[in-house]
Structure 1
Amino acid sequence: MPKPVLMTVDDDPGVSRSVARDLRRRYGQDHRIVRAESGVAALEALRELVLRGEPVAAILADYRMPNMNGIEFLEQAMDIAPHARRALLTAYADTDAAIQAINVVDIDHYLLKPWDPPEEKLYPVVDALIETWRTVGERPVEDIRIVGHRWSAECFTARDFLARNSVPYRWYSVEEPEGARLLQAAGCPATDVPLIITPDGTALRNPTEAEIAAAVGLTTTPTGDFYDLIVVGGGPAGLGSAVYGASEGLRTVLVERLATGGQAGQSSRIENYLGFPDGVSGAQLTDRARRQAAKFGAEVLTAREVVALEARGSARVVRFGDGSEIAGHAVVLATGVSYRSLDAPGVAELTGRGVYYGSAATEAPACAGQHVYVVGGANSAGQAAVFFSRHAADVTMLVRGPNLEASMSTYLIKQIEAIDNIHVRTRTEVAEACGDGHLEKLVLLDRTTGAKQTVDAGSMFIFIGAAPRTEWLDGVLLRDERGFLRTGPDLVVDGKRPPGWPLDRDPYHLESSIPGVFVAGDVRADSVKRVASAVGEGAMAVTLVHRYLADQ
């Protein structure tokens, strides 16, 4: 296989040679360094590389170039080498343009001139570009094949499950010749979809998520029956606990019901997370955290739902939906929250058929030319609106309140205001969803006047608040009136510890009403609903686990 290409584009010959020299010194043994001195020349070189089958790992382009600036070049380069990672080389005065480029052409990084010393300023960025390209860049997508109906809720669930678990696949509609051929070869009627075909030729008809996970190689079975630390939930808090627990020598297992990342994993770009000035997608952040946990030896189980928790002496036991169980010295509950259901006629019937909860990034290509509606006014809704604006004809945000300022970060509001095809309708809610087999129209209610309006709608994505999934803990752990888990000082009322508390000390800060069971992230009562705070609580929970174990 030819060496992956690192391309640098700069109209200044001296700068071009310097960048190429520094890249060659660090990466020349394993990569081919290609340089061009104009955007036009670089595009021609990219076409030749692609025709020859040479993989392009990363492109570094200068911002200030005549005739075609770096942003314009990278936008065209995306069509030729879509898997290549992209960085913009810019002067300090152009950083605003570079930040805008992150949203326009989805660049991965920007680099400030001068980049000396390269060991500190250039190489870490290029290392990250190469690492990302190797992880998600040009992996074949032919291995897993899914055949189904465009408007089947079951087919959407299967595609969404694979996408959120970073499993590449190829989608075939039953109406396409190849889709029909695969159905016939598998002896599968068109009514029994999705049909999933694995690399070894195994055909799964309308499988469960657990069956899909096992078939595509995701880990679903624990290697042992007793651990130092069991983490329930694979969002930022759970991943934080898994990384810190495993890295500090605890035998750790993380159990996730659907896909690691939680709601944060569905974010198209998180821009206010510490240490990522250029922003990072939820999928990228999740993938890095998952690999980091695995590097330290944590087990990650996917598609396993925990349905019960109990204390048996000094052991803490969690039971799965199939009746099996594992035990450990301590448990961290990081189950996060789910989006609340939209209670309007037609919504339930059309969920998965044009109506979706969360970002549902798999639907982005299908939104081309459509009228897309995003329901909600918090950051997750704003991020989704920005993301879908790159695909849809227009995006309309429906917000119950009078404005976005009360629930959305200022940086995101400014982004939305700057995008022409995003429209915000305040004091508006969905009164009804209509369609024959899939979403076609919405009935909108003006909360101020009471007037109703029917509009065409291709897709609707719902982000309306958070509800904890803690019903399975009713009567086991103390919860607040909304179902969030109470911890630490909140459990001590008028100087009295929670009922049944067996220890001669108050609960630790993140400890629940059962000693040795800790809570981190959004599921904890009165937690700060931010990725950074969730990761911090996950790490803090491990520190408290060590303290708890030392007391035993």
Structure 2
Amino acid sequence: MADMKLTPTQFVPESSKEDEVPAIGATIELRRHQIFPTLTEQEIKRLHRFGTVRTFHKGVRILEAGHTTFGMVVVLSGRIVIARYDGLGNSAPITEHGPGEFTAEVSQLAGRPSLVNATAMNEVEALVIPPESLRALVIAEAELGERIVRALILRRVNLLEVGSGGPVLVGPPGHPRLFHLQSFLTSNAHPHTIVDPKEDAQARTLCEYYQPTPDDWPLVVCPDGSVRKNPSDAEIGRCLGMLPDLDPDKIWDVIVVGAGPSGLATAVYAGSEGLSVLALEQRAYGGQAAASARIENYLGFPTGISGGALAGRAYVQAQKFGVEVAIPAVAARLICDTYPLQVQLTDGTRVQARSVVLSCGARYRRPSLANIKQFEGRGIYYWASRIEANLCKSEEVVLVGGGNSAGQAAVFLSGHASKVHMVIRGEGLKATMSSYLIERIRATPNIELHTHTEIVALEGDEEGLKQVRLHDNRTGAEEDCDVCRVFLFIGADPNTDWLGDCGVDVDAQGFIRTGHDVTKAQCRANFEQGIYPPDQPIRAALETSVPGVFAIGDVRAGSTKRVAAGVGEGAQVVSQIHAFLANLPAAV
């Protein structure tokens, strides 16, 4: 879809040029001193080696939402006003920065476009620090860097809380594509605004201008003012800078395919040790773990932590160490008959690396129901975040699955839904779920467990799911339940079908063999072909059958399907990558 450009105030009624929105979200008001710290003269002197002093005259736009890619601007004299701004021309002040204060939030670590406008209120002298120097600063100046990074994170949290910055999604409530894009942006912790054309005058005017057909919903207004009709995730990623232009001639030290916990761990440790790293993620950083409402058995978090919070911290760490993260970037083919290795994306782009780490996880498993795709995003869900929870307030819902993820989701949803019907085919949860979750489910009055049961039919219309049919495998009895939300947590299949051209060895279930398992499988194959002695080269523990290609996390055969185990493998593989690169021939 070609970009369509708005005149900045084309759809803004005169009375709404400035929205009355709070500058600081209520839940983090007490942390204002951390969000907007003031640096001392001595601290500013230490920053001068990372930037360039520039002068901006009164009224000059220093940062422009959707365009400017400065890393950080430290005010030396004068004042700057920071204002939220969207592509429709709405603007409202957030704060002012005076001497010793600085602009930036987490996206500036990666050189992404600004989410706010910054304008010189008078003659301003400022220290402008580019993104690569900002990353060097937060590493070299440990204590000061910690304060700066904390401020950047809290500013993003604040933007999310008050609804400032990012794209504007225009469409009828409940539309599946609107829900999909909202979920995509929320999963990536990116600020956005949703408006209903029936309730909002600007949105109505926008729709009258572009005349969207049913296939054009939603309209998306990017921060730079361009408008897209029913854009793909990739189009949204490009307009927000989440999906950068990737140089096909650059050779990375490591390409990480998949930015779940294991992939992010590899990115963080490899980046911190000086390797150039590109991480490719097909939907949202954190993978399936990010959908967990609470992880209570992860070391160091005795009160638990949400999967989204854990993944968000790791994502910021990766950016801090200079990792390039591309979202959404879907790997379609691994090419290993030449060196460097190549990964081809679904859009045809090829990227090169000296080593590749496969942390591509698994795809959500679907039950064998003929019309299930019809209701995905309109009643069928594969994760349970606050977005989905808000959809089922005071409703009865069905949740299918008996693993830890299903248990966490059931407990989370029980705080929103009137009742959670937990459906499993087995006789109980003991064999598949941790005991602490079983006890919590038993103690939750509005969770009802249905054993030896499965869904056999879905009914609904264009608006979404209306009814499910449950079948008792012991008695043969069937029951129709009038529910509009079904959550599926029935496991996943390894995401390895795109590796066929490269010949990466997988087991009977499609999981990737590594290390000793590769050696055993190849020795067995040689023996069956009469090749003796069946000697094979020794593989590193996480190396696949293809030299320089490693596998970690859920996609690896024999791995422990836990977040902590994936993070451990992500850290462990970096030393094996170093060993592989050190042993490459000098010419390579």
> Which TM-score applies when normalising by structure 1?
0.74
Instruction: Give distance in 1, aligned partners of 2:483 and 2:396.
Output: 5
**How far off its partner does 1:255 sit?**
0.8
State the shift of 1:130 in Å: 7.5
Corresponding residue of 1:136: 157
1:486 aligns with 2:518: no
Give the AA of the match of 2:563. Answer: V
| Alignment check: 8 A CA contact 2:422 2:448 kept | yes
Is the aligned partner of 1:469 residue 2:495?
yes
Alignment of 1:267-282 (within 5 A): 267-282=292-307
Query: Residue 393 of structure 2 is aligned with which of 364, 368, 373?
Result: 368
Shift of 1:331: 0.6
Deviations 1:118-141, CA, capped at 9 Å, x for gaps = xxxxxxxx9999876443134442
Structure 2 letter corresponding to 1:487:
T
Residue number among 479, 486, 489 corresponding to 1:460 in the alignment: 486
Match of 1:387 among 412, 435, 442: 412
Task: State the secondary structure of the residue aligned to 1:449.
Answer: coil
The CA deviation string for residues 319-371 of structure 1, in whole angstroms up to 9 with x for no partner, is 11122211111110000012211112432221121111222542221211211
1:468-487 per-residue CA deviation (whole Å, 9 max, x = no partner) reads 11111125211111111111
**Paired residues for 1:409-424 under 5 Å:** 409-424=434-449
Is structure 2 residue 187 aligned with structure 1 residue 161?
no
Matches within 5 A, 1:263-412: 263-412=288-437
Please give the secondary structure, in 1, of the residue aligned with 2:456.
strand
Tell me if structure 2 keeps the 8 A contact 1:229–1:252: yes
For residue 534 of structure 1, what is the aligned residue in structure 2?
566
1:495–1:433 Cα change, 3 Å = closer
SS in 1 for 2:287: coil
Per-residue deviation, residues 25-48 of structure 1 (Å, max 9, x unmatched): 9999769xxxxxxxxxxxxxxxxx
Q: Which residue type is aligned with residue 515 of structure 1?
A: P
Count of matched residue positions in the alignment of Structure 1 and Structure 2: 448
Counterpart CA distance in 1 for 2:240 and 2:430 is 43
- Where 2:537 maps in the other structure, the secondary structure is coil
Deviation digits for residues 378-420 of structure 1 (CA, Å, limit 9, x no counterpart): 1111111122222212111111111111111112222222222
**2: distance between equivalents of 1:128 and 1:423?**
44
In structure 2, the partner of 1:443 is 469
Evaluate the alpha carbon distance shift between residue 389 and residue 548 of structure 1 in structure 2; reply closer, same or farther with a 3 A threshold: same
Contact 1:220–1:303 under 8 Å retained in 2: no
Give the match for residue 111 of structure 2.
none
Q: How does 1:208-227 map to 2 (within 5 A)?
A: 208-223=232-247, 225-227=250-252
Deviation by residue 1:459-502 (Cα, 9 ceiling, x = unmatched):
11111112011111125211111111111111123782888xxx
Letter in 1 for 2:228: L
Match of 2:451 in 1: 426
The correspondence for 2:575, drawn from 530, 543, 547, is 543
Q: Secondary structure at the match of 1:496?
A: helix
Question: What SS class does the counterpart of residue 179 from structure 2 fall into?
Answer: helix
Amino acid in the other structure paired with 2:491: G
- Letter of the 2:467 partner, please give it: K
Cα distance change on mapping 1:422 and 1:30 into 2, 3 Å: farther
Does the 8 Å CA contact 1:160/1:362 hold for their aligned counterparts? yes
Q: Residue 194 of structure 2 aligns with which residue?
A: 171
User: What code does the residue aligned with 2:469 have?
Assistant: V
Q: Decide which moves more: 439-448 or 410-419.
A: 410-419
Written as runs of structure 1 = structure 2, the 5 A alignment for 1:114-153 is: 133-139=154-160, 140-143=162-165, 144-153=167-176
Q: 1:426 to 1:278 in 2, by over 3 A?
A: same
1:493 is paired with a residue of what secondary structure? helix
Change (3 A) 1:29 1:492: closer
Partner of 1:524: 556
Provide the rounded CA distance (Å) in 2 between the counterparts of 1:495 and 1:341: 33
- Residues 128, 368 of structure 1: alpha-carbon distance in 2 compared, 3 angstrom cutoff: farther
Question: CA distance change for structure 1 residues 186 and 8 in 2, over 3 Å: closer, same or farther?
Answer: closer
Equivalent in the alignment of 2:109: none
Letter in 2 for 1:338: R
CA distance in 2, matches of 1:360, 1:2: 26
Q: Note if contact 1:222-1:299 (Cα within 8 Å) is conserved in structure 2.
A: no
Is the 8 Å Cα contact of residues 37 and 151 (structure 2) preserved in structure 1?
no
| Distance (Å, rounded) in 1 between the aligned partners of 2:537 and 2:305 | 42
Contact 1:497–1:506, Cα closer than 8 Å, also in 2: no
| Residue of structure 1 aligned with 2:223, choices 195, 199, 212 | 199
Q: What is the distance in 1 between the residues matched to 2:481 and 2:309?
A: 35
Once residues 433 and 4 of structure 1 are traced to their aligned partners in structure 2, the CA distance between those partners, rounded to angstroms, is 41
Q: Give the drift of 1:456.
A: 1.1
Tell me the distance in 1 between the aligned counterparts of 2:428 and 2:268: 39
Aligned-partner Cα distance in 2 for 1:412–1:281:
15
Following the alignment from structure 2 to structure 1, what is the Cα–Cα distance between the partners of residues 478 and 24?
60
- Counterpart CA distance in 1 for 2:293 and 2:282 is 21
Q: Quick one: structure 1 residues 29 and 511, their matched pair in 2 at CA, closer, same or farther if it must change by over 3 Å?
A: closer
Distance in 2 (alpha carbons) for counterparts of 1:169 and 1:495: 51
Structure 1: gaps of 5 or more residues: 10-22, 32-52, 56-125
* Distance verdict in 2 for CA 1:181–1:513, change over 3 Å: same
Note if contact 2:234-2:243 (Cα within 8 Å) is conserved in structure 1: no
What SS class does the counterpart of residue 275 from structure 1 fall into? coil
Correspondence 1:237 to 2:262? yes
C-alpha distance in structure 2 between counterparts of 1:319 and 1:293, whole Å: 23
What is the DSSP-based 3-state SS (H/G/I as helix, E as strand, rest coil) of the residue aligned with 1:135?
helix
Structure 2: which 5+ runs fail to align? Answer: 1-21, 40-92, 96-146, 527-534
TM-score by length of 2: 0.70
2:262 aligned counterpart, secondary structure = helix
Q: Aligned AA for 1:166?
A: A
Structure 2 CA distance for partners of 1:54 and 1:158, relative to 1, 3 Å: closer
Asked whether the 8 Å contact 1:151–1:352 carries over to 2, the reply is no
Distance in 2 (CA, whole Å) between partners of 1:347 and 1:25 is 50
One-letter amino acid of the counterpart of residue 259, structure 2:
G
| CA shift digits 1:154-180 (9 cap, x unpaired) | 222211111111112222345545554
Q: Partners in 2 of 1:221 and 1:160 — Cα distance?
A: 24
* Aligned position for 1:38: none
Q: Which amino acid aligns with 1:248?
A: E
